[in-house]
Amino acid sequence: MAYSLLKQLHLTTIAITLALFVLRGIWMMAASPRLHARWVRIVPHVNDTLLLTSGISLAVLLQQYPLVHGWLTAKFFALILYIVLGTYALKDSERGKTRGQRVAAWAAALLVFGYMVSVAITHNPTPFVN
């Protein structure tokens, strides 16, 4: 039962993360002041903390660890890349200097997100290669 609850929490927080990232990207492209709302700076971090905690808990429960199991290692490094790209995309001129750079980083982050989902589903670090 603990596994089912953890997995459901993990999947739910993944969906929320994606929805919030897409929404914030749309607001970034539209130069919307909503991107700077207090809740927009807090809620994604709370959700991502739950996502990471549930992911680590699942890894421990299943005894699957990054740097030991290839698929989880790939997910781990992809997560780091996703975070870096996300900061370039959503931090006004702190990292991505132009809107074009931020849009490109946002699109690249979405591709990395898709890769992570594919790796998670297939448990294969090269999910698109037969």
Half-sphere exposure of 91 (CA within 13 A, CB side): 9
Asked, for residue 53, whether it belongs to a domain, the answer is yes
Binning pLDDT at 50, 70 and 90, where does residue 12 land? very high
- Residue 47 within any structural domain of the chain: yes
The pLDDT tens digits of the residues spanning 65-117 come to: 888 999 999 999 999 999 999 999 998 666 778 999 999 999 999 999 999 99
Domain of 20, in residue numbers: 2-122
Domain-embedded: residue 127? no
| pLDDT of 2 | 86
Helices assigned H by DSSP within 30-130? 38-62, 70-90, 99-122
Average pLDDT value for residue range 23-31: 96
> What is the rounded average pLDDT for all residues in the chain?
93
Could you tell me if residue 130 is inside a domain? no
Residue 1 has pLDDT above 80, yes or no: no
Number of domains in the chain: 1
**Is residue 48 situated within a structural domain?**
yes
Residue 73, in any domain of the structure? yes
